[in-house]
Amino acid sequence: MIHVGLSEIKFAESPETLKSLGLGSCVGVVIYHEEWQIAGMAHVMLPDSDLARTAEFPQGKYADTAVPELVKTMIAHYRCPINQLKAKIAGGAEMFKSTRSLPMGSIGKRNVEAVKIQLDQYHIPLIAEETGKDYGRTVEFQTLSSTLTIHALFKGKSVI
C-alpha cells in the first residue's frame, strides 16, 4: 500500500495499491495505463497555483500543477503513450454547507472542474468519477484491476 498524503503525488506498479485518506473538498486524481498496470495519484487541495502564497509548493497541491506532473512522469519515466492513459477521480465534496452563496463557488466543485479542464487539455478520458455531495472519502486504486475503491463513512463502499 502506497499512501498519498495531502498535496502529494505518488506512483505504483502492479500489484501495488495507491491510497489517499480523508478527501473532503480535495480531489484524488488517478492517471493510469490499464494494460501496463501502472498508475499515479495526486491528492489535489486547490484548483489553481495562482492561489499560491509562495513560489515553491508541492506539485500535487494544485490541479494545474498536479495533472501535468502526473502526465509528465507517466510519459517520461514509465514511457506510457499519452493516448493510452485514462483517469478516474473522487472527492470534491462540499463539506460545510453555507447559508450564503460563495462568489467563486464551493472549493470542492472548483477543484473537480479544474481537474477536468486539465485532463481535457491532455485529451485523457475521464473513465469514472464519484464527486460532490457532502461527505469525505478515502480512495484506493488497485493497479492490477484499474479499479478505484471509495470508502465513505456511513455511506459504505463503491467501486468505479
Among 143, 137, 147, 144, smallest CA distance to 112 is for: 137
Sign of CA dihedral 43, 12, 86, 141: negative
C-alpha cell, 147 = 479499479
Rounded CA-CA distance 142/132 in Å is 22
Rounded CA-CA distance 43/24 in Å is 11
Catalytic residue list contains 80: no
Rounded CA-CA distance 103/90 in Å is 24
Catalytic residue among 12, 26, 39, 66, which? 26
Q: Which amino acid is located at 59 in the chain? A: Q
| 86 exposure class (CB count in 10 Å sphere: 0-12, 13-18, 19+) | middle
Active site residues: 26
